[in-house]
Chain A
Amino acid sequence: MDALIAKLKTQIIQQLNLEGVSPDDISPDDPLFGEGLGLDSIDALELIVLLEKNYGIKIENPADGKKIFATIRSIAEYITANGKA
């Protein structure tokens, strides 16, 4: 899980153009949307692309994304649960 979390942090920083943010800046349990990193709706869509591109997981309904993308840890758990870690 820790290795996946570390990998995810790097991938997310790159995919979302999070300038000046290093993996150490993101705690796995910090909220990604709203406060924390303050990601927006387009970032959520890019996270859907990231999951498909890097892990082969398709999310059809962006409404499901809210729960899955709540924190880095929730994303890692979703990937693991869907057998694609």
Chain B
Amino acid sequence: MKTVISSYCVIRNHQIMVNGETVLTKEKDLPFSEFIKTAYDLNALPYLKFFKMDDLCKLAFVASEFLLKNNKLAEQYGAENVSLLFANTSSSLDTDINYYNTVKDFPSPALFVYTLPNIMLGEICIRNKIKGKTAFFIFEQFQAEFLCNYATQLIRHKKAKAVIIGWVELLNKNYDAFLCLIEETDNGIALTKQNLEKLYTT
């Protein structure tokens, strides 16, 4: 049994790929809101909380739904043994700006709650009943080495049995999402900085 990347999901340029296979492609000029709704609809099971989310959380949520389609991680490993290590460049700035635009008239609590980047971790945990270690970092660009080392350490020191590494960035309709599931199993690509970098740039 090795520590491997057992599955991964990339969402960019209105295309969704899961484990290297395209599952959805839409025209690039489609508004993000319509693209992400189409992606959400592909998952069949309704989850009405989706419609309260900001664009950043919708992106993270959809990516996690595709990543975890065939996994019930909390059941398999125990809720407290599943970890999330996520990062991006812009934090929640996209929503921060939208929230601030409401401040002069009627500040919106529904927008304010999304002005923190770690809310996407909360949404994924609620959906999947995950209670383990979660952390959100800010980088100028995707940092494969740091995330790989951190995930490896968590598993090696038995602080987690499965880790989801995530890069979910969105600002002004420019977005980029990459999620991968790390487990100790025989099926998958070895978790190394190089392999993580390779999958990210797919």
Complex: A in contact with B (CB within 8 Å): yes
CB within 8 Å of B: which residues of A? 16-20, 38, 42-43, 45-46, 49, 52-53
Which interface class (under 10, 10 to 19, 20 to 34, 35 or more) fits B? 10 to 19
CB within 8 Å of A: which residues of B? 48, 50-52, 105-110, 113
Majority-rule SS of B interface residues: helix
Q: Which residue of B lies closest to A41 (CB)?
A: B109
Which listed residue, A17, A45, A52, A53, touches B51 by the CB 8 Å rule?
Answer: A17
Cα separation A56 to B51 with both chains bound (whole Å)? 27
A1 to chain B, nearest CB (A): 26
Q: How many A-B residue pairs have CB under 8 A?
A: 28
Q: Is the CB–CB distance between A53 and B113 below 8 Å?
A: no
Q: Is the CB–CB distance between A53 and B105 below 8 Å?
A: yes
Residues in A whose Cβ lies below 8 Å from that of B51: 17-19
Which listed residue, A17, A38, A45, touches B109 by the CB 8 Å rule?
Answer: A45
Q: Which residue of A lies closest to B108 (CB)?
A: A49
A85 to chain B, nearest CB (A): 20
Residues in A whose Cβ lies below 8 Å from that of B110: 16-17, 42-43, 45-46
